[in-house]
Amino acid sequence: MTTVYVDNNATTRVAPEVLDEMLPYFSEYYGNPSSVHAFGGNVAKKIREAREKTAALVGASPEEIIFTSCGTESDNAAVRSALKSAPEKKHIITSAVEHPAVLNLCTALEKEGYRVTYVPVDTSGNFDFDYFTQSLSDDTALVTVMWANNETGVVFPVKDIAEKAAEKGIPFHTDAVQAVGKIPVDVRELPVNMLSLSGHKIHAPKGVGALYVKKGTRFHPFVVGGHQESGRRGGTENVASIIGLGKASELAVDHLPRVDTDVRHMRDYLENTLLETVSFSSINGNRERRLPNTVSIGFDAIEGESILMHIDYAGICASSGSACTSGSLEPSHVLRAMEVPFKSAHGSIRFSLSVYNTMEEMKYIAETLPPIIRKLRMMSPFWDRCNDKA
């Protein structure tokens, strides 16, 4: 059975070109980039090149890029640094639908005495801009708001948010882990101080990420140690993965037009076909302001986890909109924040595509899913009630 992988917001395959570029740095060129000898120096040169490529992906200068171990570390480093830079301020603004990398950090910070405003979203997942502006205060140390949501793909008005924060002299960090490589991300177009990205979302390996820190922004290292990364992140570099991230950044620039056309076309085909063929199905999130590769669909009256299991037997890898907490299948915090009705939030599935998907795969999903939904609904105690409403 072939695998149809449509879970690219969870992680992506390492691009063959990326792997080719990485492999010699495990076996042949294994020097330490900090060494004085030429063997290590050549590795340092390759890291410099990777830094240039990752910087180019987001419109930054190479000196503004710090390599990290993942998107989560980048987020933690950014938030902690901003708080340390303004120790007298005790307020943070974020959104209610951030990734746990930011959300759980904010919860931890509340226990450390910070006050956190979680800006709500509307039923389409749109950021409540008025609520945000009213929340800004003299005590606000940082605004940290994601560029695009991992579950729904909804894109936030980060330029407006950044400009509003800048007007008040408040630093702005954005978690752009899902936006980079899918839509244009250019730090020159908005007053953003720090931006997080992650390698494994853009066809580089897992375990490498980057943090952009705008020149002039005060930065306090999160991982303290050696002088690596110009003293901003200690620890011997994850050389092969950084080189992989450099290559993946270069590929992401090349792939961007195809994501906007081919990938968008496949996503639209999939979502329109499913909406037409499956009754009581609906899209979660603003369809206009969305990443071109993502669709979250709610199928009324069934459990997302059951759908996932059944499509998994058919070789289809996707995600549900549930978080399995203490045995009960609660809808995710994102769908709850959007107040998606219980009956469709529970049966929500996210498909996230990449340039490696094909139209044949979309047709396969569109043929395989409707009979599964029908079968599950026949077994669902909620289905009759759903029909009654029709």
| Residue whose CB is less far from ligand PLP, 6 or 177 | 177
**Closest distance to ligand PLP from the beta carbon of 91 (Å):** 22
Active site residue 324: yes
Using CB under 6 A, count the residues that bind ligand PLP: 13
**Closest distance to ligand PLP from the beta carbon of 79 (Å):** 12
Residue nearest to ligand PLP (CB): 71
Binding-site member from 174, 178, 249, 284 for ligand PLP (CB under 6 A): 178
Binding-site member from 8, 140, 150, 354 for ligand PLP (CB under 6 A): 150
Q: Which of residues 41-80 bind ligand PLP (CB under 6 A)?
A: 70-72
175 binds ligand PLP (CB under 6 A): yes
**Closest distance to ligand PLP from the beta carbon of 72 (Å):** 3
4 binds ligand PLP (CB under 6 A): no
Question: Which one of the listed residues 70, 106, 317, 324 is annotated catalytic?
Answer: 324
DSSP collapsed to 3 states, the chain: CCCEECECCCCCCCCHHHHHHHCHHHHCCCCCCCCCCHHHHHHHHHHHHHHHHHHHHHCCCHHHEEEECCHHHHHHHHHHHHHHHCCCCCEEEEECCCCHHHHHHHHHHHHCCCEEEEECECCCCCECHHHHHHHCCCCEEEEECCCECCCCCEECCHHHHHHHHHHCCCCEEEECCCCCCCCCCCHHHCCCCEEEEEHHHCCCCCCCEEEEECCCCCCCCCCCCCCHHHHCCCCCCCHHHHHHHHHHHHHHHHHHHHHHHHHHHHHHHHHHHHHHHCCCEEECCCCCCECCCEEEEEECCCCHHHHHHHHHHCCEECEECEEEECCEEEECHHHHHCCCCHHHHCCEEEEECCCCCCHHHHHHHHHHHHHHHHHHHHHCCCHHHHHHHC
**Closest distance to ligand PLP from the beta carbon of 380 (Å):** 30
| Residue whose CB is less far from ligand PLP, 175 or 300 | 175
Q: Name the site residues for ligand PLP (rule: CB under 6 A).
A: 70-72, 99, 101, 146, 150, 175, 177-178, 198, 200, 209
